[in-house]
């Protein structure tokens, strides 16, 4: 055209047109279209309940090994909730701005346990030992957070994400769900009489009852978690009152009972977590390096979770620059975890990504409301401890369905196939590991037998 210049070349970071088939069908509310306030509040509370499982399970497993009692456990749970709320608000407001919940991550459990078992922080006083280990974990997290901060805000991770084609994104997202599936069915098996009813009811409410009411009324599918958790929680409470677990092994009682009086009694009524509440962090190069490796694993896991969240919120594929920015803010989240002393790092909650697919509500406001619930119940410790008494098998049943949603691609048929595959991956790793252990023992026995004649000579 005369007098006109050439059109500016599109930036390499600009996303390609969104393939229609890649969008999740029948999404009711996308990122910028929030539902009515009453519905948004209920959906936000539902997200809070889902992320509460990881929030409670990790401190419950780690704090006693660190030397802490019920009081320290309650404070750590409050701190994890508070920091998760802050990180979720930061990520949804300044990071990727996707409806992604940022919570505790199982990825950081292994390096934390290595710090506990290192023997460097032995102390005859259990509380003093707990504080020393917590300060060591804080120092490792503070150093490890620099990895994601540098990779994210410098744009280095953007260069990696550019090569992440849709074909390679599928196995990445799928492996995120598959890798966490061991926390699903094995968790249900810890208390079958509670976990199995929760799983069955959740499937019935979300997949069958939702089709029995007239179209447009999303009640059972959208609020399936609230309905089923309330029903099974009351059922578990009745079993506890009836003495069904009296005389049972301690592990069974911990998994099945709802009367966690120690946790509720130790939680303060009102307490605001603050930085360095356990003391000044201590730093060790070996501990920091181990935590940095966990940070890189969480980085890859969160990248797949971000892709899943974008799809379930009916958003266009994220430009690499936006994804890199989100990684940088996630690094700041890990830094906050180290400053406040959660004893664990943070990453994108995969189970909450699955909840987006179940409810088909990808509103950013809903997730920000859930962050408000996290902060509110972290300050009001008694009320937060009540919700923390939900038995772990109920949480495991939720994981079974939500992780299947993360690996599914299109339609309910693929959800069923994905769930079936995840069932096997969730049930059989222990069997495969046991078989591998027996094989290793047999090889050791053969090696000993082969060396006997040599020793006799």
Structure tokens, 256: 């099945």
CA dihedral 265, 266, 270, 272 (to 10 degrees): -160
Looking only at the bridges linking them, the beta strands covering 102-104 and 346-348 are: antiparallel
Q: Say if residues 115 and 136 touch (Cβ distance below 8 Å).
A: yes
Burial of 78 (0-12, 13-18, 19+ CB in 10 A): buried
Q: How far is 229 from 182, CA to CA, in rounded Å?
A: 21
Helix (H, G, I), strand (E, B) or coil at 288: helix
Q: Say if residues 319 and 15 touch (Cβ distance below 8 Å).
A: yes
Q: Say if residues 237 and 258 touch (Cβ distance below 8 Å).
A: yes
Closest to 344 in 3D by CA, of 12, 110, 91: 110
Q: How far is 275 from 37, CA to CA, in rounded Å?
A: 33
Closest to 383 in 3D by CA, of 48, 156, 16: 48
* Local confidence pLDDT in tens for the 457 residues of the chain: 445 455 455 445 544 544 444 445 577 888 888 899 999 999 999 999 999 887 888 898 899 999 999 899 999 999 999 999 999 999 999 999 999 999 998 889 889 999 999 888 888 999 999 999 999 999 999 999 999 999 999 999 999 888 776 556 556 655 655 555 555 667 787 888 999 999 899 988 888 887 777 666 778 888 999 999 999 999 999 998 888 888 888 888 888 888 765 778 888 999 999 999 999 999 999 999 999 999 998 898 888 889 888 888 877 778 899 999 999 999 999 999 999 999 999 999 988 988 998 888 999 999 999 999 999 999 998 888 888 888 888 988 888 788 777 666 555 545 545 554 554 454 444 444 444 444 444 444 444 334 433 333 3
DSSP state for residue 73 in the 8-state scheme: H
- Residue 367: the pLDDT is 97
CA dihedral 249, 74, 350, 332 (to 10 degrees): -150
303-324 residues labelled b (16+ CB within 10 A) or e (exposed): bbbbbbbbbbbbbebbbbbbbb
Q: Say if residues 306 and 353 touch (Cβ distance below 8 Å).
A: no
Q: How far is 224 from 213, CA to CA, in rounded Å?
A: 14
Residue 57: CA count within 13 A, CB half-sphere: 22
Helix (H, G, I), strand (E, B) or coil at 24: coil
Residue 328: CA count within 13 A, CB half-sphere: 19
Q: Say if residues 111 and 287 touch (Cβ distance below 8 Å).
A: yes
DSSP state for residue 9 in the 8-state scheme: P
Q: Which pTM value belongs to this model? A: 0.83
């Amino acid at each position: 055209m005369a007098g006109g210049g050439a059109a500016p070349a599109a930036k390499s970071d600009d996303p390609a047109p969104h393939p229609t088939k890649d969008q999740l069908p029948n999404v009711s509310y996308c990122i910028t279209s929030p539902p009515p306030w009453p519905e948004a509040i209920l959906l936000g509370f539902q997200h809070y309940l889902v992320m509460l499982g990881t929030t409670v399970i990790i401190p419950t497993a780690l704090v006693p090994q660190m030397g802490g009692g019920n009081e320290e456990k309650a404070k750590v749970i409050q701190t994890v909730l508070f920091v998760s709320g802050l990180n979720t608000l930061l990520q949804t407001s300044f990071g990727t701005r996707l409806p992604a919940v940022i919570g505790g991550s199982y990825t950081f459990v292994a390096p934390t346990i290595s710090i506990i078992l290192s023997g460097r922080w032995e102390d005859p006083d259990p509380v003093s030992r707990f504080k020393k280990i917590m300060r060591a974990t804080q120092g490792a997290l503070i150093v490890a957070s620099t990895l994601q901060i540098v990779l994210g805000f410098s744009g280095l991770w953007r260069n990696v994400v550019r090569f992440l084609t849709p074909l390679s994104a599928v196995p990445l997202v799928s492996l995120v769900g598959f890798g966490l599936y061991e926390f699903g069915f094995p968790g249900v098996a810890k208390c079958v009489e509670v976990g199995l009813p929760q799983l069955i009811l959740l499937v019935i409410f979300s997949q069958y009852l939702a089709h029995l009411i007239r179209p447009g009324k999303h009640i059972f599918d959208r609020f399936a978690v609230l309905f089923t958790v309330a029903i099974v929680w009351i059922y578990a409470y009745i079993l506890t009152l009836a003495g069904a677990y009296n005389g049972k092994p301690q592990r069974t009682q911990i998994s099945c009972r709802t009367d966690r009086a120690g946790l509720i009694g130790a939680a303060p009524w009102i307490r605001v977590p603050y930085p360095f509440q356990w003391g000044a962090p201590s730093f060790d190069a070996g501990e920091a390096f181990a935590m940095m490796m966990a940070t890189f694993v969480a980085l890859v896991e969160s990248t797949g979770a971000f892709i899943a969240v974008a799809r379930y919120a009916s958003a266009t594929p994220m430009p690499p620059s936006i994804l890199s920015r989100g990684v940088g803010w996630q690094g700041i989240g890990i830094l906050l975890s180290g400053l406040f002393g959660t004893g664990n790092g943070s990453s994108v909650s995969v189970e909450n990504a699955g909840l987006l697919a179940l409810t088909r509500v990808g509103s950013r406001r809903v997730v920000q409301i859930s962050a408000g619930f996290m902060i509110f119940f972290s300050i009001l410790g008694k009320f937060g401890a009540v919700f923390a008494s939900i038995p772990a098998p109920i949480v495991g049943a939720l994981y079974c369905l939500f992780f299947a949603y993360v690996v599914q691609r299109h339609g309910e048929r693929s959800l069923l196939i994905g769930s079936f595959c995840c069932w096997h991956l969730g049930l059989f790793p222990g069997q495969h590991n046991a078989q591998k252990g027996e094989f290793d023992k047999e090889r050791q026995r053969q090696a000993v037998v082969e060396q006997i004649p040599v020793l006799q000579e």
